[in-house]
Amino acid sequence: MANNFLYETHMHTSEGSKCATNTAAQQVQAYKQRGYTGVIITDHFINGYCTCPRHLAWDDKMRYVTSGYIAAKKEGARCGLDVFFGWEFSYKGADFLTYGLGLDFLIAHPNIDKTTPQQYSKLVRAAGGYIAQAHPFRKASYIKKIDIDPYILDGVEVFNASDPPEHNQKAEKFAKKHGLPMQAGTDSHSVNSNFVSGIALKRRAANIQDIIADIKGGLVELIC
């Protein structure tokens, strides 16, 4: 691999995602040991499989969404792994990785969890954020049949380490057809993954915007 700086783009922690089996600190330690430069924490949003209690006020719910990231950031600072914030927005089983925005944006948009993907994308992009559809051709009992709208996307996860090859191949074909930037990720829920994915950069990202710029510019290598 020509690019030397490795980044996980799709990761869950037990602090923020009900489906994750390891803590943020454990995830960070595992990726540090694997030689990664950084990770993007993408715990489920409150319209997905989030650990956040439903009775909380909106601001408190949004702080809860950041809990995995905050714990990962602390461990990353200790062990030397860069940690960036994102989340995974859900709509009828479709999932959208969202980067480039923070707690201020979430607090300022109460009930954004109830928006359609089109409405959500408009709000995210207007604020300078980035939205990529995760595992767009995944099949599962909880996923309802929906159309994939290329016009609301900044990128596509064309390789998800948790999906079979045929689903990833469809995603890559879709991205190429619509000229959308491509990325890869593990969809990591545990430190016990046999294979971890992500992207490789030629430079060390100073911030999440550097990662977004390199994905959009087609400057990343996919780890797959």
Q: Answer yes or no: are the C-beta atoms of 113 and 46 closer than 8 Å.
A: yes
State residue 80 phi and psi, 5-degree precision: 90, 35
Q: What average pLDDT does the segment 70-87 reach?
A: 98
**Extended beta strands in the chain, E state:** 5-11, 38-44, 82-91, 94-99, 130-134, 155-160, 182-185, 198-201, 221-223
* Surface-to-core class of residue 175, CB atoms within 10 Å of its CB (0-12 exposed, 13-18 middle, 19+ buried): buried
Other CB atoms within 10 Å distance of the CB of residue 47: 16
Q: Could you tell me the pLDDT band of residue 3, with boundaries at 50, 70 and 90?
A: confident
Q: What is the pLDDT of residues 131-165, one digit of tens each?
A: 999 999 988 777 776 668 999 999 999 999 999 99
Indicate the number of domains in the chain: 1
Domain with 50 in it: 5-223
Q: What confidence score (pLDDT) does residue 98 get?
A: 98
Which pLDDT does position 145 carry in this prediction? Answer: 65
pLDDT of residue 103: 98
Average pLDDT over residues 115-142: 93
Provide the pLDDT confidence category of residue 1 given band limits of 50, 70 and 90: low
What CA–CA distance (Å, rounded) separates 73 from 183?
23
Residue 220 has a pLDDT of 98
pLDDT at 2 over 80: no
**Rounded Cα gap, residues 34 and 8, in angstroms:** 11
Average pLDDT, the chain: 95
- Confidence tier at 107 by pLDDT (50, 70, 90): very high
The phi and psi torsions of 156 (rounded to 5 degrees) equal: -135, 135
Which CATH number is 114's domain given? 3.20.20.140
For residues 56 and 74, give the distance between their C-alpha atoms in angstroms, rounded to a whole number: 25
Residue 78 pLDDT > 80: yes
The token duo for 193 is: 């993954």
CA–CA separation, 168 and 57 (whole Å): 38
Residue 5 has pLDDT above 80, yes or no: yes
Q: What is the pLDDT of residue 148?
A: 85
What share of the chain has pLDDT > 70, as a percent? 97
pLDDT tens-place string over residues 7-44: 999 999 999 999 999 999 999 999 999 999 999 999 99
